[in-house]
Amino acid sequence: MNPIVQLKNIAKEFHAVEIFRDISLDIQSGERFALLGPSGCGKSTLLRLIAGLDAPTNGELWIDGQAASLAGRILLPAHQRGLAMVFQDLALWPNLTVHQNVELGLAGTSLARVQRRERAESALSACRIAELGGRKPGELSGGQQQRVALARALTAEPKLLLLDEPFSSLDIANKSHLYAVIRRLCTDFHLTLIVVSHDPLEAAALCSHAAVLERGRIAEIGGLQALLRNPVSETLREFVAQLPVPTRKESGAPARSEESN
């Protein structure tokens, strides 16, 4: 079975400055996959390549068995890749209602107006915010705004859901609740999830697999719990040090002594 996302020797440069090169990885259908690494390592850039918002400098990118991008060329436009993306700033229109914002996820489709409304209502119900449809984004909490962005992404019925650090402004309670919502949505909608994160708790709560980017390369890749049990990269060693003691013990990673704190 072909991976739903396949990167073959992907490289990216901006103005002759190399961001990364020789990035190769496969993401299987149904996986919840984290792209991890320090700030500036190219995680969000790689996500944009997968989304079809930019083309690689070199290499090949395949989506669901179809060539999507080659060196300097986008062969499969973003709207034909069967994906939806939630950005860090959420991009909600303040002058539109929640329902209208969610319907924007269907802009450009051939669906009739009644079908768009039904699709938006279904997505709002799936995210358990159907009662907020008439409100404006400014009347919502941060966690509720996150759910609106997720509902808008779901209206397109994507195979792939891409999240680019969308929870950085939320408190721990709201994050924990949204993690549970996203795991449920992935199961209910048979989604493959790709998350860009620098938060070890977020990655551990959401994802089953991960790739770590460091110094323009993939430092390690595989099942996240296996990586946490034997971290090789500097990034994952720092991640493990930040995880709560019960999580570290479950993953098999060594806990720090009190004297080292």
DSSP-assigned states of every residue in 152-204: HHHHT--SEEEEESTTTTS-HHHHHHHHHHHHHHHHHTT-EEEEEES-HHHHH
pLDDT digit string, tens, across residues 201-248? 788 899 999 999 998 999 999 999 999 889 999 888 887 887 776 555
Pairing of β 160-164 and β 17-27 = unpaired
Q: Is residue 245 part of a domain?
A: no
pLDDT digit string, tens, across residues 43-78? 999 999 999 999 999 999 999 999 999 999 999 999
Q: Is residue 77 part of a domain?
A: no
Domain that holds residue 94: 85-157
Q: Is residue 96 part of a domain?
A: yes
Return the pLDDT at 254. 42
Q: Is residue 5 part of a domain?
A: no
Q: Is residue 64 part of a domain?
A: no
Q: Is residue 225 part of a domain?
A: no
pLDDT digit string, tens, across residues 85-99? 998 888 899 999 999
Cα dist. 51→75, 76, 222, 226 in Å? 12, 10, 22, 28
How far apart CA 164 and CA 49 sit, in angstroms, is 12
**Is residue 164 within 8 Å of residue 44, measured between CB atoms?**
yes
pTM, two decimals, is 0.86
Nearest to 150 by CA among 100, 84, 194: 84
Cβ-based neighbours of 31, under 8 Å, separated by 6 or more: 192, 193, 208, 209
Burial class (CB in 10 A: 0-12, 13-18, 19+), 245: exposed
Number of domains in the chain: 1
Q: Is residue 7 part of a domain?
A: no
